[in-house]
Amino acid sequence: MKTTPASASRSGTSGDSDGARLRILSFNIQAGNATHRYRDYITNSWKHVWPDSGKQRNLDALVPHLDGFDLVGLQEADGGSLRSGFLNQARYLAESARFPYWTQQRNRKVGPIAHSTNCLLSRFHIGDAEDHPLPGRIPGRGALLARIGDPKHGLAVIIAHLSLGPTSRGKQWDFLNELAADHRHVILMGDFNCLPEDRGFRQFMERSSLRLPTHRPPSLPGDRDGPSITCWSATASRLSSARRWR
């Protein structure tokens, strides 16, 4: 898989002044669609196959919120099909938010209508990236593995979008466990389509030796006092100081 420098670049850092902290965001952007309530999945279902001006407005509204992050993992970013007005949304966000590097994994293509992808936007040089299809009953789920820094001691960033069904997710957790085991420093983030209390997720965490953030990050869309609707968009990691990757 080819990694792509964005045409705009910025050399400043986004973390702590001593470089010891990475600021990370995982976001399923649903091809630029906004989902605020359960019923939006029905009333706005046509937007997943047809273009509309709201997608562009939502992308533009997202750009300022990306500024404070070093690594951004995106799921369901459209790769340039009819529904997005043939706009590669990963490229657009990388250039608009001035990320010097980005890479993209194309997962599910529905003719010219929809191209779903996983993406990484990075303030650090991406050495290489790998496309890993995830096992499951229905093809189209994937994991993007990108390496940052020294090939032997650098950072592996995995962005995954898992299946809705627990049986397929179980196979995917097994695959991700093997993928993460090959790296000393690894960050896994994405749309896991389950809550942290899910049995399969807890078993994966026990086997992988990855650690969750100290504070559970917010996940949207969802009610203010209730669980998220679509997923738990999460990050798990096994790493020491981020200082070496700057």
Instruction: Report the CATH number that the domain containing residue 115 is assigned in CATH.
Output: 3.60.10.10
pLDDT classification of 84: cutoffs 50, 70, 90:
confident
Handedness of CA 7, 132, 31, 88 (dihedral sign): positive
Is the separation of the CB atoms in 32 and 243 below 8 Å? no
Structural domains in the chain (count): 1
Is the separation of the CB atoms in 146 and 105 below 8 Å? no
Q: What is the dihedral of CA 104, 15, 229, 57, to 10 degrees?
A: -70
For 134-144, how does the pLDDT look when each residue is reduced to its tens digit (9 = 90+)? 999 988 899 99
pLDDT at residue 112 in the model? 83
Q: Any residues with CB less than 8 A from the CB of 223 and at least 6 apart, and which?
A: none
| Angle formed by the axes of helices 89-96 and 53-62, nearest 10° | 40
Strand pairing class (71-78; 24-28): parallel
pLDDT at residue 21 in the model? 81
Q: Which of 56, 61, 30, 57 is nearest to 44 (CA)?
A: 30
Q: Counting Cβ atoms within 10 Å, is residue 104 exposed (0-12), middle (13-18) or buried (19+)?
A: buried
Is the separation of the CB atoms in 143 and 176 below 8 Å? yes
pLDDT classification of 42: cutoffs 50, 70, 90:
low
Segments forming the whole domain that contains residue 171? 4-245
Q: Counting Cβ atoms within 10 Å, is residue 122 exposed (0-12), middle (13-18) or buried (19+)?
A: buried
Is the separation of the CB atoms in 148 and 163 below 8 Å? no
For 218-239, how does the pLDDT look when each residue is reduced to its tens digit (9 = 90+)? 565 444 444 333 344 456 777 6
